[in-house]
Structure 1
Amino acid sequence: MGYILTEEGFQAALKELRKEYRLFAPVRKKGAGRFLDIDAVIYDEVGEGTEIELEAKSDYSAKEALTPLSETLFFFTEEQCKEADVDLRPALVFLRSCDLQAMKRLDQMYLGNGRENDWFYQRRREKIQYVLIGCSHSFDNCFCVDMKSNITKDGYVFSIDKADGQYRVNVLETAVDPVFAAAALSEEAVEPCHVTENEVRVRVPENIPLEIVNHPLWDEYNTRCIGCGRCNYACPTCSCYTMQDVFYTDNGKVGERRRVGSSCMVDGYSNVAGGGQYRKKQGERMRFKVLHKIRDYRKRFGYDMCVGCGRCDDICGEYISFSNIINKVAAAVEEMEKEDSKNA
């Protein structure tokens, strides 16, 4: 069912929804960007609809609603362990199509990637539903169309598009129909807005040979990349983490275990027992990240991990473009195929 709401009607509907759901949405934080005069759009729990930023792309993704950057999993003493308490009230998370597609990839990693589900992830996931924010235009560095994440037709409770001072809502979950019917100005068919064209284009090769790991294209990132890991933390599909034990006593028998977000681009990530390190150079780490996003994940699950949100390009302090790297890989693959055909 589709509804048209005024500003007052939209606020009234969200106020009613907050009686049952916690609301997580992109929020503009004044002066919280990289410089004091730059804002940051990040996810936070909101109490009023006026707090929600519907116009700008968020600087960070919605994944922290499911995988906080740092979370305590359990506490331990000499005699027992206790899982950390979390707020398990139902929640609605407002996000765009690319981020909703990214959440499906996180589900795949945590709930469909082995014999056992990640229980700590699952207990949060069971309480979360999504609200789709329509995209009426492409943002800087987005390449969602080529990654096929620009359209989402299901998996959300309702969608929201703001235009000309009104809100257009498409409800898929009938349980919330009465909330919007009571606040609506009118009822009519509504289709969520979606991007049909990006200024940034990428060509993802259908088949990327393993020999690409030895291509010299990775060498430039040995010096260009500084290994800060910002691209990983901003990425909605990066799911790597490390474990940290925090001890309260000198004997190490009382404390807590934390799961902390980690980054394949940061020094020490690939360290193993005995002092070994699989990827010492930044070019090797870049190769691992890129091929995981557009080759290895697809080999395992049948679709690419990258959703083309462009946040890695937005946030990189060294102006390294992930979309450009994908196109460099495509050019390298074409070069290798031509060479193979000559030698055949």
Structure 2
Amino acid sequence: MGYVAKNDILDLFIAQLTKQYLIFAPKRFKNGGIYSDTDCIRYGEVTSIDQIVFDEKSEYSFKETVLPVIQTLFFFTEGSTKEADITQKEIIVFLRSCDLHGMKRLDDMYLHNGPADYYYQQIRSKVKFVLIGCEHSFENCFCVSMGTNRCENYEMSIDKSGENYRINCKNKDWKKQLSDLNLAEEPVAPSYVTENLIQVSIPGNLEFTVAQSKIWDEYDSRCINCGRCNFVCPTCTCFSMQDMYYSDNGKVGERRRVWASCMVDGFTDVAGGGSYRKKNGQRMRFKVLHKVYDYKKRNGYHMCVGCGRCDDICPEYISFSNCINKLSEGMKEVSK
């Protein structure tokens, strides 16, 4: 059984949760958009249900809640180091099915791809997820094609229906708190989409030989290597390491982990002055095949979750879903 609640009652529940948890959800930042007088929907800390945006897709993914854009790992002096403090509170993240599937990708890369990443693990062990149901598909979404439109691995789900919120709760502690609020009970299941306007088809005969196709050449001029697609993607995980020295003492500072992008200049620079994938088309080829070819070869499922944010954010209107759909043409070309 599930629960049906209105804003005021649900805020009482959230108030109880904030005593133990930091709660992050899609939130509207007034005038925070990339253009003048535009808003931005991205993840931020919330303390009431009204702050959560249910009817629009967030421009940025949940990723920065578990993998900060800039993360201080430790502080150093001439003779000692001190590990940076990590929040003692647990974390709740409200997110959609595609992003919850994205979480599985992050876990595989940071926890199961060799020794677990210590810094990621410290935050990840504190996180619980609330699934936001999707009553309809958003622009550029292709989650159905990628098989990420449904998910069961959540502590609680929530759907907004008019002035009510429909809740399906699996967490025993939260279920007791909801029961204590005398909420109406009825069968509840999270909403999910069954079709998108955008569909992609990954060829069954896809091989790495498609890298030799000329389909990548157009991106040499179209792509401006800004890296936005990487930063909004819930499954891009690359970072650089930076030592920041304090101006008062050049031998004291901190080591930071900072998001990086395979699409920008300098990413493939190596010792001795070498640099790989200098052309933007080569970078696009690497990104696309990583998302829908080589990651699956290793893990058994695609890295891309079909959220469509890369299409939403690109200033040059490059469509990642179109890139995927061109792979069939590319395979025909290299198979001749």
For normalisation by structure 2, the TM-score amounts to 0.97
Counterparts of 2:49 and 2:82, CA distance in 1:
36
Partner residue of 1:87? 87
- Percentage identity across aligned positions? 54
Cα drift, residue 86 of structure 1: 1.9
Partner residue of 1:102? 102
Counterparts of 1:184 and 1:87, CA distance in 2:
33
Counterparts of 2:136 and 2:5, CA distance in 1:
21
Contact 1:137-1:194 at 8 Å conserved across structures? yes
Counterparts of residues 174-323 of structure 1 (less than 5 Å):
174-248=172-246, 252-323=250-321
SS at structure 2 position matched to 1:254 = strand
Return 5+ residue gaps in structure 2 as ranges: none
Shift >4 Å, 4+ stretches: 249-252, 334-337
Partner residue of 2:119? 120
Contact 1:231-1:311 at 8 Å conserved across structures? yes
Partner residue of 1:157? 155
Contact 1:98-1:144 at 8 Å conserved across structures? yes
Code of the residue aligned with 2:290 in structure 1: it is H
SS at structure 2 position matched to 1:11 = helix
Cα drift, residue 3 of structure 1: 0.6
CA RMSD, 1 decimal: 1.3
Counterparts of 1:296 and 1:136, CA distance in 2:
32
Return 5+ residue gaps in structure 1 as ranges: 340-344
Cα displacement string for residues 187-221 of structure 1 (whole angstroms, at most 9, x for unaligned residues): 11111000110000000123421211110000000
Larger CA deviation: 78-87 vs 307-316: 78-87
Cα displacement string for residues 238-276 of structure 1 (whole angstroms, at most 9, x for unaligned residues): 000000001126885321100000000000000000010
**Number of aligned pairs?**
336
Counterparts of 2:18 and 2:218, CA distance in 1:
50
Partner residue of 2:324? 326
Contact 2:209-2:331 at 8 Å conserved across structures? no
SS at structure 2 position matched to 1:253 = strand
Contact 1:9-1:184 at 8 Å conserved across structures? no
SS at structure 1 position matched to 2:229 = helix
Counterparts of 1:315 and 1:184, CA distance in 2:
43
Code of the residue aligned with 1:241 in structure 2: it is F
Cα drift, residue 125 of structure 1: 0.3
Partner residue of 1:131? 130
Partner residue of 2:9? 9
Code of the residue aligned with 2:206 in structure 1: it is I
Larger CA deviation: 42-51 vs 279-288: 42-51
Counterparts of 1:211 and 1:226, CA distance in 2:
25
Contact 1:4-1:184 at 8 Å conserved across structures? no
Contact 1:263-1:269 at 8 Å conserved across structures? yes
